[in-house]
Amino acid sequence: MFYIIGLGLGDIKDITVKGLEIVKQCSRVYLEMYTSILGSSLEEMQEFYGRPLLLADRDLVEQGADEILAGAGDEDVALLVVGDPFGATTHTDFILRAKEKNIPFKVIHNASIMNAIGCCGLQLYKFGETVSIPYWDETWKPDSFYDKIKLNRLHNMHTLCLLDIKVKEPTLESLMRKRKEYMPPRFMSVAEAAQQLLAIVEKKDALERNTVLNEQSLCVGLARVGQDTQQIVVGTLQDMRGTDMGGPLHSLIIPAKEMHPLEVEFLQQYATNIKLDDYNH
């Protein structure tokens, strides 16, 4: 049997009882932590689970799925993922491969950022399409995510922005020399995401800035959701550019232009410098 088990968002204790029981019985257990990170070290996880874990890095997950699935038809093999198993399309591919090989599988769900963002008080059913904001560099500055934010705003829906994670990214030099060298891990902050959004907004005409997004648009910054150090900040897009929310992972929400009174009341506790009634229009 092949198991794909969600670990939740906080720390080692967020795994479900069912998930923990399966981990203890498996012949091999892989840990995938390149699509997200957990607030616990590998050593802490191995001690808590009472067994060794095999690290599944980006190369193994994306190119070595057959290696992970090997033998799962005869013995129990598990892949542990931060959040919920279906939070990344990479994990969906494992299920498809298991089906192709006639390997029985089971999914153990857990909390993910897609539902845990309700902690800020915005109602989940009012969220539109989720977007990803990638890191820019000197020659590559994609902005297609802005159009999705725009569409959500025009339909009066909230937008969850997932911020880029760079883990085990090969350096340009290593690609040219065909030698494996990796850049240091990078995790996009709310401030970095706001800076890129402001750069896009500055290019828009007056009408679009007044109707879609501008420097004074309301934003919600979230850091380390589900962990003891969770932090939520509410402010303008301009404010977010200078907001330090500490270590990863961060997320950014662009709320709908019109919010329910309960949403406004809940958000207000995180907005120390502005009165949200002025933004709910």
Residues that constitute the known binding site for S-adenosyl-L-methionine: 9, 84, 87, 112-113, 163, 225, 250
- What phi-psi label fits residue 156: left (phi over 0), alpha (psi between -120 and 50 degrees) or beta? left
Collapsing DSSP to helix, strand or coil, 145 comes out as helix
Joined together, the tokens standing for residue 222 give 């979230």
Q: Which residue has the tokens 């009341």?
A: 265
Name, in order, each residue with C-beta under 8 angstroms of 256's C-beta and a sequence gap of 6 or more: 126, 152, 153, 156, 157, 158
Joined together, the tokens standing for residue 253 give 């929400």
| Residue 77 near residue 53 (C-beta atoms within 8 A) | no
Closest residue by Cα to residue 270 from 234, 231, 229 = 234
* Distance, CA of 214 to CA of 196 (rounded, Å): 12
Collapsing DSSP to helix, strand or coil, 215 comes out as coil
| Residue 120 near residue 266 (C-beta atoms within 8 A) | yes
Joined together, the tokens standing for residue 78 give 């598990």
Name, in order, each residue with C-beta under 8 angstroms of 26's C-beta and a sequence gap of 6 or more: 3, 75, 76, 77, 78
Annotated binding site: 9, 84, 87, 112-113, 163, 225, 250
Name the residue type at position 106: K
- Within a 13 Å sphere around the CA of 50, how many CA atoms are in the beta-carbon half? 7
